[in-house]
Amino acid sequence: MPSTIPNALSIAGSDPSGGAGIQADLKTFSALGLYGMAALGGLTAQNTRGVTAIQPLPAAFVAAQIDAVFEDIRVDAVKLGMLGDADVVATVADRLRHWQARNIVLDPVMVAKSGAALLADSAIERVRTDLLPLATVVTPNLPEAGALLACEPPADLPAMREAARALHALGPAWVLLKGGHLPGEDCTDVLYDGHTFTEFPARRIATASTHGTGCTLSAAIAAGLAQGLAVPQAVAQAKEYLTAAIAAAGALAVGHGHGPVQHFHALWKT
């Protein structure tokens, strides 16, 4: 554990209902002992029932936010989430290269839990070419993996391993392919570094509190990397944290759709 509190930057979209996006990322950073920062990559109007509006931000303004942070503050890890369009994706990649950012966790957010598109089709190629080579870890779910690879989403563990190999060939140091969309009760995640597969088996949790789970997991991985953990340990810690946050979500009374997880389950008395 570092002697000073690590700093982590989220570059992602805003969720006014607080369950996903930068709001979930900042809660995760705080719960895990980090100082959290955020550069808005886009705006949404959403709640637990769905997304009703999306407002892209000018790429130059996104760049200005990132530069303002890096020119003044040590950034120990970066989490990337919703970036919206191709210009923003390209700009974020440019600024991360400029500042030689490290410990980059890319959550290639494309579709909200409600089904709303959060990434323009024209931006997917930019994610492939500009962001994947910068990523320490990329964390797609199965539909996102299919979109990045321009193929059908993997539907079983052997197909997930093949998809992880193909994604790794696009440049990230590590691929964490999430199995939440697998059929049945098992939802194993697969971690791959180009040489070794590590599987994280899990049983599906019967809950409606799944809003922001992908954001929370990727932010928790970034937190672990900022704290000096190796990638497999950061992933294991993040999954343990998210599982407990889902299990504790019943203490919340937020919305009437897919509710948020309880980010502060270890800190709040209920």
Which residues participate in catalysis according to the annotation? 178, 210, 212-215
Distance CA 83, CA 137 (A): 17
145 and 125 Cβ atoms separated by less than 8 Å: no
Distance CA 262, CA 19 (A): 9
Q: Which residues pair with 51 in a beta bridge?
A: 46
Question: What burial letters (b/e) apply to 83-95, b meaning 16+ CB within 10 Å?
Answer: bbbbbbbbbbbeb
116 and 51 Cβ atoms separated by less than 8 Å: yes
Q: Is 217 strand, coil or helix?
A: helix
Helical H segments across the chain, by residue range: 21-31, 59-70, 86-98, 121-126, 142-149, 157-168, 213-226, 231-247
